[in-house]
């Protein structure tokens, strides 16, 4: 008889636990931006069960074309940034403003090329900005596009598709900075690109800055 009651006690405990979870989990997603949380969890699970080294992926031109073809039809002719290691395949928009409120509206459409930075692929440093997290009422599809930016390491590679060319970049440096302390130091006549987002995820207190160098260009 005791064993029977013990069995029912376990069932009751499991039922209550699952019930609480189903109530609390959606609240956590709303409060802490579920998109960023799910992106981080999915990435971690993939790494646990994957036997491949995703740190340094050398994409061929045909592979880049395939990834572009996976984008929504309306975005396939747009500039894109493709970062296989962190599952980023996002359009790049080019707002002709540096007003923060206006930039936020553009960030609903993808990542943005900062107007006062160098042109992609040209000498100097281009800057691409993206959300790491966003408020639950955020309207776009890219509220957590750079949620995993901190996972990039020196030597990792990514691709920017721009004006019918493919620009391949290799990460050279990664820093966390106070927004007011951020500045670009031009040291040569080569092409560089910075990926930048708020950090830690779900705050805008600091910035994650990932520097990269252009290593090759393909048509």
The encoded tokens of residue 107 equal 């960030």
CB 179 within 8 A of CB 207: yes
Domains held by the chain: number? 1
How far the first Cα of the chain sits from its last, in Å, is 76
Least confident of 1-5, 12-16, 67-71, 143-147: 1-5
pLDDT, one tens digit per residue, over 152-186 is 999 999 999 999 899 999 999 999 999 888 888 77
Where in the sequence is the domain holding 94, given as residue range(s)? 33-218
Q: Is residue 1 part of a domain?
A: no
Q: What is the pLDDT of residue 99?
A: 92
Can you give the CATH number for the domain in which 144 is found? Answer: 2.40.260.10
Q: What is the pLDDT of residue 124?
A: 94
- Helix (H) or strand (E) holding 151, with range, is none
- Helix (H) or strand (E) holding 59, with range, is none
Of all residues in the chain, what percent carry a pLDDT higher than 70?
A: 69
Q: Is residue 17 part of a domain?
A: no
Q: What distances in angstroms separate CA 17 from CA 20, 21, 22, 29, one per listed residue?
A: 5, 6, 9, 18
Q: Is residue 142 part of a domain?
A: yes
CB 132 within 8 A of CB 149: yes
């Amino acid at each position: 008889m005791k064993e029977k009651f013990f069995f029912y006690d376990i069932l009751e405990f499991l039922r209550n636990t699952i019930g609480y979870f189903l109530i609390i989990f959606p609240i956590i997603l709303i409060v802490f931006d579920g998109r960023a949380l799910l992106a981080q969890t999915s990435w971690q699970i993939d790494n646990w069960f994957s036997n491949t080294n995703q740190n340094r992926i050398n994409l061929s031109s045909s592979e880049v074309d395939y990834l572009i073809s996976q984008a929504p039809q309306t975005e396939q002719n747009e500039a894109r940034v493709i970062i296989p290691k962190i599952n980023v395949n996002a359009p790049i928009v080019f707002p002709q403003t540096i007003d923060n409120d206006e930039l936020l509206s553009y960030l609903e459409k993808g990542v943005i090329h900062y107007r006062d930075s160098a042109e992609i692929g040209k000498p100097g440093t281009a800057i691409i900005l993206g959300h790491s997290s966003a408020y639950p009422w955020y309207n776009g599809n890219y509220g957590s596009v750079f949620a995993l930016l901190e996972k990039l390491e020196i030597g990792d590679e990514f691709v920017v598709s721009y004006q019918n060319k493919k620009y391949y970049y290799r990460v050279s440096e990664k820093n966390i900075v106070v927004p007011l302390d951020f500045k670009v130091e031009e040291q040569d006549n080569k092409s560089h690109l910075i990926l930048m987002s708020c950090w830690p995820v779900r705050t805008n207190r600091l910035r994650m800055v990932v520097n990269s160098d252009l290593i090759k260009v393909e048509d």
